[in-house]
Amino acid sequence: MHSKFASRVNRVKSSETREILKVTERPEVISFAGGLPAPELFPIQPIQAASNAVLEENGAGSLQYSTTEGYIPLRTVICGRMKSIGIESDINKVLITSGSQQAIDLTGRLFLEEGDTIICESPTYLAAINAFKIYNPSFVEVEMDQDGMIMEELEDQLKKHPETKFIYTIPDFQNPTGRTMSRSRRERMIELANQYDVLIVEDNPYGAVRFAGEAIPPVKHFDTEGRVIYISTFSKIFAPGLRLGWICADELFIEKYVALKQSVDLHTDSFAQMITFKYMELYDIDAHIETIRAVYKDRCDVMLRCIDEFFPANVAHSVPEGGLFIWVELPKSLDSRKVLEECLKNHVAFVPGAPFFPNGKGNHTLRLNYSNMNEDRIVEGMRRIGEVLRQQIG
Amino acid sequence: MHSKFASRVNRVKSSETREILKVTERPEVISFAGGLPAPELFPIQPIQAASNAVLEENGAGSLQYSTTEGYIPLRTVICGRMKSIGIESDINKVLITSGSQQAIDLTGRLFLEEGDTIICESPTYLAAINAFKIYNPSFVEVEMDQDGMIMEELEDQLKKHPETKFIYTIPDFQNPTGRTMSRSRRERMIELANQYDVLIVEDNPYGAVRFAGEAIPPVKHFDTEGRVIYISTFSKIFAPGLRLGWICADELFIEKYVALKQSVDLHTDSFAQMITFKYMELYDIDAHIETIRAVYKDRCDVMLRCIDEFFPANVAHSVPEGGLFIWVELPKSLDSRKVLEECLKNHVAFVPGAPFFPNGKGNHTLRLNYSNMNEDRIVEGMRRIGEVLRQQIG
């Protein structure tokens, strides 16, 4: 009955990362592969208090069907939090989604026609590539340096590709590179989007987890024509298991997103929305985020020191100011998939970089996650990867 | 920037029902419009106990990212519950979805190509029509009688439409008609699906809420060639706000559904899945369902008596053996939208029937929900609708 499937299904495969993650579920494996937050930091007791308060105060409401747009008090708090980083909005510009992954998928569904072009950073977020692929666009990759996407190249590509629908960017502590786009480039990106009449999809899951350097306002802060669709999530600052993200965009767009979301899943879990709101009412989420930042900073520092200590000298890497990832470029003669095979025998894992390039390259690159392992395991895991690298470089 | 939208967006509109539901949120309105369970029956204290147990026993696990397939203990319990109604399965044949609405949307995504035909009951579930429309199929409606879809007409349509991808059916207490397909027709539907090489999508949200007559096994029970995609949900027997549904189908299909779901929302809320499992471990959900059945039976009986008492004699209606809805056919000279306009002035609401016919008809029909209002409000609301009907019939 294979013949029954729609052709779009051929464009979707179970991601390579996902298969690796299955291997890494074994407790003996030291995994730098996933993008998982540190579970020991989840505010379990406060969440329990918040759940109990929700059920006691408005139990029936939290368990009943609710509106597609999302819980108004939660959207109100989100508007306040966005204001503090430079985004002016109101609840009519905010839609609650079932994680930011849903926001990404709905964005593809709302905008992408077969043959449209998406311009993205090279490399870019794997699960966004997979979500957009369903709608059969072309991907045009723009090179990055330490300050993010290179604007001269972006302009060249916009000239070459008038069929571009949007620029997809992760400006803060990018997945997979950990790099951050400079302020001047954000301003320039808006100018270019206005000039070439394209949208910008700003995916910002990590922005709040900055542990070094100066905060830079989101690209949406500089938006002059309502061209930026801003996507964020509670997954990295609260609890990913609750699947809570949001889209902030002009009402013209949000109305359409709401109609699409209604047919996709009616609405996002009401109980999870009310717990998250109640938690922020009862507790100081910013103090909680400070804890996350401090722990991730230490883990990142340890991992960077291990690169210096254990990895061969001809290995390049990013130096993130926040987020969850370090990007590593091995000598071009090495294939990170082969390095991974050897590493798995030594019970240590990472994600090869190639799948993050939508048009295929980067065989010598890899992504390391530092948020999900404690410092001892980071040191031990990095030592093991270092050994494999030294052997393979020979 | 309207020009930026993909053309599929034009096929989606905010549903008529949804606009009516907004009006009915005002507390003075007696609403038979939505399909909402009775919130006073939600097991709030047991859910609180289950939430606390989950957070105390496995708090970090319930708040972390988890697998796309869903929580294994929950899938195991679902398999056991399906076995008790005649469906043989195992956890590899079950995918947890974010409500059954997501299962419907993923089904469209997995199977529908532009130009495919869906054969469905006439009328059928509005939100399924809207979800499938995104993929631009044709709808072929098959007439029903009190025993559900008429099989002779189904066969005629299968002959006429070799491009049919699947039959979409709600065999138990159908939405919107409340009708149930007989056992012999279920067997015949399987024979026809085998003969004409089409799939069957069996949507069964209400099956457990039977309060009269004899239980009939699901269509999937009679499935001989793995052609039935079975969709169900916890929304009508537990708590719709948690957004928990599932798909049961052959592994060949489930593998593809999983790959699609991964790009759509990664996975369904882990906390909600674990609460639902824990609730069923700690409490007797079947006893809870008995309570729901008893209350809905009484409300349905009251509503049926009110039709006899208050509605004009030339009004036809279904007599459901379960579920949430009664279907009403007014004299053909009446337009239920105009009746609704008048009713809303008297603070009573229902849903006009026309949107449930994908190709447009049924202006004289309407759907009444009895689960969400207590008996006093049912009597008062039905009295008011009866008055409007008598005036309009004149």
Range scoring the smallest mean pLDDT among A323-337, B20-34, B333-347: B20-34
At residue A143, does pLDDT exceed 90? Answer: yes
- Taking residues A251-265, report their average pLDDT: 96
Cβ proximity of B33 and B17 under 8 Å:
yes
- Taking residues B220-249, report their average pLDDT: 98
More confidently predicted of B14 and B122? B122
Determine, for residues B271 and A242 on separate chains, whether the beta-carbon distance falls below 8 Å: yes
CA B220, CA A342: separation in Å to the nearest integer? 46
Determine, for residues B263 and A127 on separate chains, whether the beta-carbon distance falls below 8 Å: yes
- Assess B196–A contact: CB distance below 8 Å, yes or no: no
Nearest to A228 by CA among A199, A266, A206: A199
Cis peptide before A123 (omega within 30 of 0): yes
- Taking residues B56-85, report their average pLDDT: 97
- Taking residues A143-160, report their average pLDDT: 98
Residue of B nearest to A274 (CA): B241
| β-pair type (A351-352, A325-329) | unpaired
Cβ proximity of B246 and B95 under 8 Å:
yes
CA A140, CA B223: separation in Å to the nearest integer? 46
- Taking residues A305-320, report their average pLDDT: 97
Task: Provide the shortest C-alpha distance from residue A333 to chain B (in Å).
Answer: 33
CA A63, CA B102: separation in Å to the nearest integer? 18
What is the average pLDDT value for chain A, to the nearest integer? 96
| β-pair type (A148-149, A138-145) | antiparallel
Amino acid symbol at A218: P
Residues on chain A touching B111 (C-beta within 8 angstroms): 4-6
Residue of B nearest to A59 (CA): B44
* Percent of all residues in chain B with a pLDDT value above 90, rounded to a whole number: 94
At residue A226, does pLDDT exceed 90? Answer: yes
Edge to edge, the sheet with strand B117-122 lists B94-97, B245-248, B228-233, B199-203, B164-169, B117-122, B138-145, B148-149
Cβ proximity of B366 and B328 under 8 Å:
yes
The predicted pLDDT at position B299 comes to 98
At residue A25, does pLDDT exceed 80? Answer: no
Cβ proximity of B349 and B30 under 8 Å:
yes
Partners of residue B248 on adjacent β-strands: B94, B230
The predicted pLDDT at position B14 comes to 63
**pLDDT band at A23; cut points 50, 70, 90:** confident
- Assess A44–B contact: CB distance below 8 Å, yes or no: yes
A166-185 pLDDT, tens digit per residue, is 999 999 999 999 999 999 99
B279-314 pLDDT, tens digit per residue, is 999 999 999 999 999 999 999 999 999 999 999 999
Torsion angle of C-alpha atoms A75, A78, A82, A88, degrees rounded to 10: 20
- Taking residues A118-142, report their average pLDDT: 97
* A15-19, A335-339, B2-6 — most confident range: A335-339
At residue B2, does pLDDT exceed 80? Answer: no
Tokens of B80: 């056991």
The predicted pLDDT at position A24 comes to 77
At residue A5, does pLDDT exceed 90? Answer: yes
Which CATH class, in words, describes the domain spanning B2-43+287-393?
A: alpha beta
At residue A52, does pLDDT exceed 70? Answer: yes
Could you tell me how many CB contacts below 8 A there are between chain A and chain B?
Answer: 239
A interface test, pick of B23, B25, B64, B288 with most A CB neighbours within 10 Å: B64
Cβ proximity of B160 and B173 under 8 Å:
no
Q: Decide whether B2-43+287-393 matches B44-282 in CATH topology.
A: no
A interface test, pick of B17, B48, B63 with most A CB neighbours within 10 Å: B63
**pLDDT band at A393; cut points 50, 70, 90:** confident
CATH number assigned to the domain with residue range B44-282, chosen from the 4 options 3.30.110.30, 3.40.640.10, 3.40.47.10, 3.40.50.300? 3.40.640.10
Tokens of A314: 């001809």
DSSP string, A2-39: GGGS-GGGGG----HHHHHHHHHTSTT-EE--S----G
What is the average pLDDT value for chain B, to the nearest integer? 96
At residue B15, does pLDDT exceed 70? Answer: no
- Assess A19–B contact: CB distance below 8 Å, yes or no: no
- Taking residues A52-58, report their average pLDDT: 98
- Assess A65–B contact: CB distance below 8 Å, yes or no: yes
Residues on chain A touching B130 (C-beta within 8 angstroms): 262-263
The predicted pLDDT at position A16 comes to 67
Nearest to A329 by CA among A313, A349, A314, A315: A315
CA A329, CA A325: separation in Å to the nearest integer? 13
Cβ proximity of A245 and A97 under 8 Å:
yes
- Assess B313–A contact: CB distance below 8 Å, yes or no: no
CA A69, CA A72: separation in Å to the nearest integer? 8
Residue B9: which of A34, A52, A110 has the nearest Cβ?
Answer: A110
Determine, for residues B65 and A271 on separate chains, whether the beta-carbon distance falls below 8 Å: no
Residues on chain A touching B66 (C-beta within 8 angstroms): 241
Task: Provide the shortest C-alpha distance from residue B97 to chain A (in Å).
Answer: 9
- Assess B98–A contact: CB distance below 8 Å, yes or no: yes
**pLDDT band at B394; cut points 50, 70, 90:** confident
- Taking residues B46-51, report their average pLDDT: 98
Residues on chain A touching B99 (C-beta within 8 angstroms): 265-266
Crossing angle (nearest 10°) for helices A183-196 and A151-160: 10
Cβ proximity of B241 and A64 under 8 Å:
yes
The predicted pLDDT at position B393 comes to 85
Residue of A nearest to B238 (CA): A63
**pLDDT band at A208; cut points 50, 70, 90:** very high
Angle value at C-alpha A247, between A243 and A252, nearest 5 degrees: 145
The dihedral built from the CA positions of residue B154, B157, B162 and B163, taken in this order, carries a sign that is: negative
Residues 6 or more apart whose CB falls under 8 angstroms from that of A238 comprise A43, A244, A276, A279, A285, A288
The predicted pLDDT at position A1 comes to 66
Chain B 205-234, CB below 8 Å of chain A: which residues?
Answer: 226-227
- Assess B130–A contact: CB distance below 8 Å, yes or no: yes
Residue A241: which of B52, B64, B134 has the nearest Cβ?
Answer: B64
Q: Which residue has the tokens 């350097």?
A: A213
Cβ proximity of B210 and B218 under 8 Å:
no
| β-pair type (B316-317, B325-329) | antiparallel
Domain ranges for chain A: 2-43+287-393, 44-282
